[in-house]
Structure 1
């Protein structure tokens, strides 16, 4: 496979998982009414998806280092299809949670491998550049999903969204079965047990810092996505279609951040790009917080601040991911699983914790985003290199 073909297949294999995360956001109010639950209960759907999406990556990553990427990917996609079918067949709130859990457990395979496939093929500035391409492509699904979800819900009801996800999962499974070729040759696989493999990767101090930055940034992103619909709905009588349009406005800026990473990979240092990304995260968080303090500008600042935060995240993700996996040619699957699994598990747990707060408004969201951005800066401050990793 050429580099471009690998990027396209990588983007396709994570498309279902990315759409699952945002497709129903504009319809959360209608879903709550149809399922006879409170609006506060719907963010739990995202948590039930993200937690297994994070946890199962810890399993898929080392398995792919041992048995190859292709079989692990196909099994995971099959599990995702099963979860989508469960929700469609039994449209109740408990089954929505269970099906979301199964979906997350399945698509975790693609979430883990999307971080290791590029490392199988590229190094150095090329690795950053191609990870930037993947980040740009991955954003197309959550960019289009809310529009599709709002339209499907408006014309056919909320269940149609999961019919769409089932069909999408089946198509992706078929394409991957026919077109995806193994990227990890047998001679580069290893049979190290799972726990020592994770210990080997985690010993690297530089990896731990990049991991911390990714977790903190992703927690802010996922919180913004989870509560945007509720906060925007309080600003006026907006339809699900209008909310979906507002929801996607910040997403192209993520695309722009990832594009900047690809364009400047051979010119700018990793540290320079990460400091620029941190500035975007901090600025976006401040704008969201300011909107909470100035109600007349609330919706405008919510969207503008979200856009700036997304731009910072778009620049940070491919750079931090590339720097984290670069030292691990034989443990790329394990390293990718730690990155994706920890970020998504952390994001899911963060949503559960914020659900315990007495109230979620724009001021609280801005404060939490500011805390996430501050953590990124804290992880970025040390200048010394990581401890040398021990031998395999």
Structure 2
């Protein structure tokens, strides 16, 4: 699939996930794909940064935009609510050579974001949404940096926004759109409605439409593309604790035999490598705090014993990680119980919105205080 100037050998995008898709995890996914199938074919997107914090060169934000020397294309996701800040951030990315691709986040369903009019709430304000997309495209003018836009089906079942959002993004110069086939009210619960991806594909004719939601195995991606006609897939929670999923996807799309699922010994080696990469990025102390949540995902479905799991959930150093991982039985094959959904699910809930948000979809007022730091997805 082609996204503007970027040609992807495999129509697969790693969804930016806050606190997950940092340089360590992206490097690991790329290494897994290369070692198992000999390719690095997808697009691996950095975790989201806010446009405002980027423009202000907030040190934590600048560190979040770290890419490895081998990463190409470098892909960055912006969260923004304001056309002026969006333009400044996109221009800064272009002028400073910070990334080769900009994705825009309008999918976050977290209440503290939507109640200020950000994330998945924003596309309801269709004129403001269009101005923001246009500002990002304008900020990258004269470069070959494509701008893509990710959004949800809508706020809830009574307020679908995806068809308008797709049409507007297309007309304002976006190079592709991606749809998480859930409403904001669903958050991460229930099942994704892939029919909405098919509807968007019928509606948006001149740029690629990517589908997101409930892809946990390589076959799910093939099924989504076959049933919806979408041009590519975006993988989020399906790869948590399974960075080798991209190798399986690459094999599925090229029709080559899939790599063998890893036994527990190989999973332990992958955890160790992930820990090492996190320690290099954050320092050992923060890196080990960060690896803990990943270990729970890696061991999902494997027999590991509650005491060992507890010790791993408190791991403090790489040496301690090594000695604990050696206690796992490396011969245990990849279990059937480890397939299927993983990561947060939660339950549906009413979407928190600013007062009067639904009164006028053509109101262009920038929501106040919505661009403070937050995590999105």
**Shorter-chain TM-score category?**
under 0.3
More strand, by proportion: 2
Q: Which has the higher contact order (CA 8 A, sep 6+)?
A: 1
